[in-house]
């Protein structure tokens, strides 16, 4: 009998035993520290962020699963309280399995350095985890398929502040038809967490005219950062 199968049987037996006690009218039993740790461990394995990551890496909820090389789960600090949500993987991100590569990564680092932060200070994840055909924007069906994963990442990471880059995060987080120009640089709340939206580095490189607006957006983010983290 495998260890994994044995653990599943133990959990099932415990559940059956608790139901049996409940039928006898016993609604409370003392739990040892060992039992508490065991149950907590199993719950975390079943519902925690590692389990979510496995689901994302095996996901086949939309047609993008048929053309990707691999989903991009994300990378970075799990405990910093900072989350950076980006668009969707391009062909290089799909190949390497990580968000931001090459010159775009270098540009992102310079953007964050300008507000005295580092890429490593964030956990970075795309709104849509798989690349799209020809690099087109994700369709509504694809955004909807990935939205639960994104919100569960937010739930488990518990960020204090979110920086969202690009047009797709707006659709994922706000589900609004408002033009991006009405949203960027303003502070929104998602699950009571402040979010600042700005342009994606790729877009900035292709449209240098927005650099000033992005700088203004990043100043809004930096001010929030100082307010939220000043006592930590």
Q: How many domains does the chain have?
A: 2
pLDDT tens string 15-44:
666 666 666 667 666 666 665 565 554 444
Residue numbers of the domain that contains 18: 3-47
Is pLDDT of 73 > 50? yes
Q: Are residues 85 and 12 both part of a single domain?
A: no
In a domain, 22, yes or no: yes
In a domain, 54, yes or no: no
In a domain, 53, yes or no: no
Cα–Cα dist 57/5, whole Å? 23
In a domain, 110, yes or no: yes
In a domain, 9, yes or no: yes
Q: What is the DSSP letter of 193?
A: E
pLDDT classification of 230: cutoffs 50, 70, 90: confident
In a domain, 104, yes or no: yes
pLDDT classification of 175: cutoffs 50, 70, 90: confident
In a domain, 59, yes or no: no
196, β-bridge pairs: 163, 187
| pLDDT at 36 (0 to 100) | 58
> Cα dihedral sign for 14, 47, 59, 62?
positive
Q: Are residues 79 and 43 both part of a single domain?
A: no
pLDDT classification of 140: cutoffs 50, 70, 90: very high
């Amino acid at each position: 009998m495998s260890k994994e199968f044995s653990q599943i049987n133990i959990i099932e037996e415990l559940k059956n035993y608790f139901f049996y006690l409940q039928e006898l009218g016993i609604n409370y039993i003392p739990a040892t520290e060992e039992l508490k740790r065991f149950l907590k461990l199993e719950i975390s394995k079943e519902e925690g962020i590692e389990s979510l990551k496995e689901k994302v890496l095996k996901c086949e909820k939309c047609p993008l699963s048929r053309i990707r090389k691999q989903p991009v789960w994300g990378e970075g600090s799990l405990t910093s309280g900072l989350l950076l949500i980006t668009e969707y993987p391009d062909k290089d991100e799909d190949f390497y399995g990580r968000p931001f590569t090459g010159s775009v990564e270098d540009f992102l680092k310079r953007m964050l350095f300008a507000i005295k932060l580092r890429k490593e200070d964030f956990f970075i994840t795309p709104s849509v985890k798989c690349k799209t055909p020809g690099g087109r924007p994700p369709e509504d069906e694809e955004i909807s398929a990935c939205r639960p994963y994104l919100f569960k990442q937010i739930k488990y990471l518990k960020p204090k502040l979110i920086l969202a880059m690009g047009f797709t995060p707006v659709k994922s987080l706000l589900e609004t038809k408002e033009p991006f120009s009405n949203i960027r640089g303003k502070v929104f709340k998602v699950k009571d967490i402040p979010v600042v939206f700005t342009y994606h580095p790729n877009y900035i490189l292709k449209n240098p005219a927005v650099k000033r607006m992005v700088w203004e957006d990043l100043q809004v983010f930096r001010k929030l950062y100082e307010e939220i983290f000043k006592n930590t």
